[in-house]
């Protein structure tokens, strides 16, 4: 196994994060949905601190990333961590990089006293599903995610 380093992303990593986000979108067949920009990431992640990001390096090469933020569980009475994205370059998968990223974010959640560490996964992504199950994650079959975007979201500004 090669050497894996997980480090906190810094503002100078905005272009790299965007590159990874676009690669993830391509893998998920969602390229047309990417609206993020380098400047937007610099502002929302590093200046506004709306999220946190980790960069994985494998033998000195940028290999992947994890982006996460805090949410809150009223039932637990604690904040949690929601993993928005986890991505490893296709040619570097199977080397423990995804596991290292997931463990790092999970460790952050545990050290911060979070009540939950959760994420979503596309139903067809069987390699990821198998990986998540192998680390003890369980799918929530009794919940459906709802989303409001675009014009529908803009309509809320009139209320």
Catalytic residues: 132
Q: Which residue has the tokens 């995804």?
A: 98
Distance CA 126, CA 55 (A): 24
Residues 52/74, Cβ–Cβ less than 8 Å? no
- Which of 55, 43, 46 has the alpha carbon at shortest distance from 8? 55
Q: Which residue has the tokens 């994060």?
A: 17
Let me know how long the chain is. Answer: 159
């Amino acid at each position: 196994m090669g050497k894996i380093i997980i480090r906190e992303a810094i503002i100078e990593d905005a272009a790299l994060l965007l590159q990874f986000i676009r690669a993830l979108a391509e893998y998920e067949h969602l390229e047309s949905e990417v609206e993020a920009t380098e400047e937007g990431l610099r502002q929302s992640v590093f200046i506004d601190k709306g999220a946190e990001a980790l960069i994985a390096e494998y033998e000195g090469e940028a290999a992947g990333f994890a982006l996460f933020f805090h949410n809150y569980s009223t039932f637990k009475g604690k904040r949690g961590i929601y993993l928005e994205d986890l991505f490893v370059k296709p040619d570097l998968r199977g080397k423990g990089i995804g596991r290292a990223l997931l463990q790092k974010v999970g460790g952050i959640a545990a050290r911060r006293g979070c009540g939950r560490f959760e994420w979503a996964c596309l139903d067809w992504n069987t390699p990821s599903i198998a990986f998540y199950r192998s680390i003890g994650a369980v799918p929530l079959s009794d919940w459906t995610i709802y989303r409001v975007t675009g014009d529908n979201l803009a309509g809320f500004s009139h209320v």
